[in-house]
Amino acid sequence: MSEPVIGLEIHLAVRTASKMFCGCPAESFGLEPNVNTCPVCLGLPGSLPVTNGEAIEKAVRFSLALNCRVPERTQFHRKHYFYPDAPKNYQISQFDRPVGEHGWVELEGGRRIGITRCHLEEDAGRLVHPAYADHSLVDLNRAGTPLIEMVTEPDLRTPEEARAFLTHVQAVARALGVSDASPEQGKMRADVNVSLRQADGGLGTKVEVKNLNSFKSVAAALAFEIRRQGTLLEEGREVAQETRGWNEGGQRTYLLRSKEESADYRYMPEPDLPPLVLERAWLERIAHTMPELPGGKRERYLALGLRPADAELIAFDVEVAAFFDAAAAAYDGEPQKLANWLVGDVAGLLNAGGRTLAETGLRPEALAAMVRMIDDGAISGKIGKEILPDLVAGEAPNAVVARRGLNVIQDEDALAGLVDKVIAANPEVVASVAANPKAINALLGRVMQESRGTARPDAVRRLLQQRLGLETAG
Ligand SMILES: [Zn+2]
Residue 474 has a pLDDT of 44
Q: How far away, in angstroms, is 39 Cα from ligand 1 center? A: 6
Per-residue model confidence as pLDDT tens digits over 244-288 = 999 999 999 999 988 766 678 899 999 999 999 999 999 999 999
Q: Ligand 1 being an ion, which residues bring their Cβ within 5 A of it?
A: 22, 24, 38, 40-41
Where helices occur in 426-467 by DSSP H, the ranges are 427-433, 440-450, 457-467
Cα 25 to ligand 1 centre (Å): 8
Q: What is the CA(413)–ligand 1 centre distance, in A? A: 76
Per-residue pLDDT band for 30 (boundaries 50, 70, 90) equals confident
Ligand 1 center from residue 35 Cα (angstroms)? 10
**Spatial contact of 306 and 314, defined as CB atoms under 8 Å apart:** yes
Q: How far apart are CA 24 and CA 47, in angstroms?
A: 14
The amino acid present at 472, given as its one-letter code, is: T
Q: What is the mean pLDDT of the chain?
A: 91
Half-sphere exposure of 334 (CA within 13 A, CB side): 10
The reported pLDDT for the residue numbered 131 is 86
- 127-136 pLDDT, tens digit per residue, is 988 888 889 9
Mean pLDDT for 335-350 is 94
Sign of CA dihedral 317, 319, 322, 326: negative
Residues in the chain: 474
Residues 308 and 339: their CA atoms lie apart, in Å, by 11
Helices marked H in 247-359: 280-288, 294-303, 308-315, 318-329, 335-341, 347-353
pLDDT of residue 405: 78
The reported pTM is 0.80
Gyration radius of the chain over CA positions? 31
Question: What is the secondary structure of 377-435 as a DSSP string?
Answer: TSS-HHHHHHHHHHHHTT--HHHHHHHHT------HHHHHHHHHHHHHH-HHHHHHHTT
Confidence of residue 473 (pLDDT cuts 50, 70, 90): very low
Q: pLDDT value at position 274?
A: 92
Q: What is the pLDDT of residues 99-129, one digit of tens each?
A: 999 999 998 778 999 999 999 999 999 998 8
Closest to 342 measured CA to CA, from 358, 355, 330, 357: 357
Do 471 and 465 touch, CB atoms closer than 8 A?
yes
Beta bridge partners of 114: 104
Q: How far apart are CA 372 and CA 148, in angstroms?
A: 45
Ligand 1 center to 174 CA (angstroms): 25
> pLDDT over 70 for what percent of the chain?
98
pLDDT higher than threshold 90 for residue 438: no
How many angstroms is it from 324 CA to the middle of ligand 1?
40
**Cα atoms in the Cβ-side hemisphere of radius 13 Å centred on 134:** 0
Q: What is the DSSP letter of 156?
A: B
Would you place residue 408 in the very low, low, confident or very high pLDDT band (cuts 50, 70, 90)?
low
With pLDDT > 90 as the criterion, what percentage of the chain qualifies? 68
pLDDT for 410 equals 65
Q: What's the gap in Å between 149 CA and the centre of ligand 1?
A: 21
Strands 3-13 and 188-197: antiparallel
Q: How far is the CA of 84 from the centre of ligand 1 (A)?
A: 17
The rounded distance, in Å, linking the Cα atoms of 401 and 443 is: 26
Residue bearing the bigger pLDDT, 19 or 468: 19
